[in-house]
């Protein structure tokens, strides 16, 4: 299936993830656009890709890990507002909400208050330590309408 994207990140590509999103009904309306609008860290290097679970309770990797070191500045990969900042299971988590999209970034600490607007590319916080990333990455978890999706779908040139 040939898919055309426009914008500064655009490219023509083949992707089974997009086909899966279309089959799940995520390809209609605004959610048809890529999940993220920009990178969370510079340079962005993917360490572990999204792996959808077989069902909501099955194992999988409900996000994408991008290389980062503790203290590294994390950028907002989409415009929205801060909907959560705090600790979950002993690691710092920051969540951005933007319409039907909800992005969790962990381990990422932020001094931004709840409800604060964030612009695409704005410094969001700093990479921390904890979870499966263990000081080597930031985990990006994206839900659209409550369903976990590949946060980098439509961004084939960022994948290894």
Q: Where are the domains of the chain?
A: 16-158
Return the higher-pLDDT residue of 31 and 107. Answer: 107
* Top CATH class, 16-158: mainly beta
Q: Are 21 and 154 in contact (CB under 8 A)?
A: no
Rounded to an integer, what distance in angstroms lies between the CA atom of residue 105 and that of residue 65? 10
* pLDDT tens, residue by residue, 134-144: 899 999 999 99
CA-closest candidate to residue 125, choices 107, 105, 110: 110
Q: What is the pLDDT of residue 22?
A: 32
Task: Quote the pTM value.
Answer: 0.74
- pLDDT(27) > 80: no
Confidence tier at 154 by pLDDT (50, 70, 90): low
Buried b (16+ CB within 10 A) or exposed e, 54-77: eeeeeeebbbbbbbbeeeeebbbb
Contacts of 2 (CB under 8 A, 6+ apart): 12, 14
Query: How far is residue 61 from each of residues 2, 50, 65, 98, 157, measured CA to CA in Å?
Result: 26, 5, 9, 22, 20
Q: For 97-144, how does the pLDDT look when each residue is reduced to its tens digit (9 = 90+)?
A: 999 999 999 999 999 999 999 999 999 999 999 889 989 999 999 999
């Amino acid at each position: 299936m040939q898919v055309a994207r426009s914008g500064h990140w655009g490219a023509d590509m083949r992707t089974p993830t997009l086909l899966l999103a279309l089959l799940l009904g995520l390809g209609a309306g605004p959610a048809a656009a890529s999940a993220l609008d920009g990178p969370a860290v510079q340079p962005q290097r993917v360490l572990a890709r999204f792996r959808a679970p077989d069902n909501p309770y099955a194992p999988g990797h409900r996000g994408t890990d991008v290389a980062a070191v503790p203290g590294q500045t994390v950028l907002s990969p989409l415009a929205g507002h801060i909907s959560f900042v705090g600790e979950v299971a002993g690691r710092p988590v920051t969540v951005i909400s933007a319409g039907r999209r909800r992005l969790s970034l962990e381990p990422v600490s932020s001094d931004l208050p709840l409800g604060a607007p964030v612009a695409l590319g704005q410094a969001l916080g700093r990479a921390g330590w904890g979870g499966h990333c263990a000081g080597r990455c930031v985990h990006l978890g994206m839900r659209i309408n409550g369903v976990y999706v590949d946060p980098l779908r439509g961004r084939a040139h960022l994948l290894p």
